[in-house]
């Protein structure tokens, strides 16, 4: 009973994540792309839950569907956009379009065949107690991976300062320096 | 706790297709915002692989790397969106084909 439920949930969220990923790439309106991306992140969080990664599922929803998508929607509102023509018009760009699609399809199908040939079936390890929970993650972070943790915090500080410096309005600075 | 019934292969297939869709988005879309979103899709596909293998081996190190990839993704989005906004102030467009001022 539980087995069939897991398979049903997996198929549902896998299909939904593919559909919403296609929605991100194929919709002309970037607001619709952003909403599809939120749906895709939610499906991926559910796939994490199916693999006993509870903390990562929560972080996926909080960080991606919460913080990152708010940033995206803000910028979509700030930046006015024309309707984009996805399918190219000229013959040369149509050929380029088809070549790109064919290359991506070829690589993806190749990878799928490789995965199916070298199957990992039936060797999943038994889970230790507390796998995927916040306590086990925190203990790993502050024992084996403390350097990685500090490096991530430094990266985030540098990125925030860099984003502020890049996006500040330089024209007002120039006017102030010109008047003074 | 859910007993392991689905093998890691199926999750790898899901992640592979998601990565392919993201790569197609980066290649064919011309809107810089949608290109950034497609990059996020690709990063998430990699994260799904990391979580799958962590589950497969019963080792939580994969989760640590998922966390680090999330940190890198946030940094990338913050800086990328700042660049898009400042480029939009100068050029009034976010179409990557029209942003060719540094083109030699």
Of residues B9, B22, B38, nearest to A121 (C-beta): B9
Of residues B13, B86, B89, nearest to A115 (C-beta): B13
Q: Find out whether B18 and B44 touch, Cβ atoms under 8 Å.
A: yes
Q: What residues are paired with B31 via a beta bridge?
A: B95
Whether B13 contacts chain A with CB within 8 A: yes
Domain count for chain A, please give it: 2
Put simply, the answer to whether B22 touches A21 (Cβ < 8 Å) is yes
Put simply, the answer to whether A51 touches B63 (Cβ < 8 Å) is no
Q: Find out whether A76 and B81 touch, Cβ atoms under 8 Å.
A: no
Please report the ipTM that was assigned to this predicted complex.
Answer: 0.90
Of residues A3, A78, A112, nearest to B13 (C-beta): A112
Instruction: Judge whether residue B104 has pLDDT over 70.
Output: no
- pLDDT computed for residue A173 by the predictor: 55
Q: Out of A112-116, A125-129, B10-14, B31-35, pick the least confident.
A: A125-129
3-state class (DSSP) for residue B52:
helix
Please give the residue range of the domain that contains residue A18: 1-82
pLDDT in tens, chain A (180 residues): 456 788 899 999 999 999 999 999 998 888 999 999 999 999 999 999 998 889 999 999 999 988 999 999 999 988 877 666 777 777 888 888 899 899 999 999 999 888 888 877 666 677 778 888 889 999 999 999 999 999 999 999 999 999 999 888 766 555 555 555
- pLDDT computed for residue A88 by the predictor: 74
- pLDDT computed for residue B22 by the predictor: 95
Tell me the residues of chain B between 32 and 91 that have a Cβ less than 8 Å away from chain A: 33-34, 36-38, 40-41, 44, 47-48, 51-52, 54-61, 63-64, 66-68, 70-79, 81-86, 88-89
Instruction: Judge whether residue B41 has pLDDT over 50.
Output: yes
* B15, part of any domain: yes
- pLDDT computed for residue B91 by the predictor: 81
* A54, part of any domain: yes
Which residues make Cβ contacts (< 8 Å) with residue A86, sequence separation at least 6?
A26, A28, B28, B29
- Across the range B36-48, mean pLDDT stands at 95
- pLDDT computed for residue B99 by the predictor: 78
- Looking at the fold, whether A139 and A67 belong to one and the same domain comes out as no
Look up residue A52 and give its DSSP letter: T
Q: What residues are paired with B95 via a beta bridge?
A: B31
- Across the range B62-70, mean pLDDT stands at 93
* A110, part of any domain: no
Write out pLDDT tens, residues B85-95: 988 888 888 88
Whether B22 contacts chain A with CB within 8 A: yes
Instruction: Judge whether residue B23 has pLDDT over 60.
Output: yes
Q: Find out whether A136 and B60 touch, Cβ atoms under 8 Å.
A: yes
- pLDDT computed for residue B90 by the predictor: 84
Domain count for chain B, please give it: 1
Put simply, the answer to whether A112 touches B30 (Cβ < 8 Å) is no
Put simply, the answer to whether B37 touches A81 (Cβ < 8 Å) is no
* A55, part of any domain: yes
* A111, part of any domain: no
Put simply, the answer to whether B94 touches A79 (Cβ < 8 Å) is yes
- Smallest CA-to-CA distance from A60 within B23, A69, A8 is with A69
- pLDDT computed for residue B27 by the predictor: 92
Please give the residue range of the domain that contains residue B69: 8-91
- Smallest CA-to-CA distance from A33 within B74, B84, B21, B48 is with B21
- pLDDT computed for residue A179 by the predictor: 56
């Amino acid at each position: 009973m539980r087995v069939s439920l897991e398979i049903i949930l997996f198929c549902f969220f896998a299909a939904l994540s593919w559909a919403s990923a296609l929605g991100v790439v194929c919709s002309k309106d970037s607001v619709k792309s952003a909403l599809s991306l939120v749906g895709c992140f939610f499906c991926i969080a559910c796939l994490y839950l199916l693999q006993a990664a509870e903390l990562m599922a929560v972080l996926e929803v909080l960080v991606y569907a919460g913080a990152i998508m708010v940033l995206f929607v803000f910028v979509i509102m700030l930046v006015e956009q024309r309707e984009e023509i996805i399918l190219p018009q000229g013959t040369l760009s149509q050929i380029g379009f088809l070549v790109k699609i064919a290359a991506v399809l070829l690589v993806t199908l190749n990878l799928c065949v490789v995965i199916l040939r070298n199957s990992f079936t039936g060797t999943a390890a038994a889970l230790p107690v507390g796998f995927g929970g916040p306590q086990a993650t925190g203990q790993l972070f502050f024992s084996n991976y403390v350097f990685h943790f500090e490096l991530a915090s430094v990266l985030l500080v540098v990125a925030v300062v860099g984003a502020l410096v890049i996006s500040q309005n330089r024209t007002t600075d120039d006017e102030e320096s010109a008047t003074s | 706790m859910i007993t392991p019934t689905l093998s890691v292969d199926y999750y790898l297939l899901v992640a592979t297709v998601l990565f392919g869709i993201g790569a197609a988005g980066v290649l064919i879309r011309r809107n810089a915002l949608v290109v950034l979103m497609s990059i996020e899709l690709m990063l998430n596909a990699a994260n799904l692989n990391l979580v799958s293998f962590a589950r497969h081996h019963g080792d939580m190190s994969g989760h640590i790397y998922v966390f680090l990839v999330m940190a890198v993704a946030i940094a990338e989005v913050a800086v990328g969106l700042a660049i898009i906004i400042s480029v939009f102030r100068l050029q009034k467009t976010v179409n990557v084909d029209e942003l060719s001022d540094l083109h030699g």
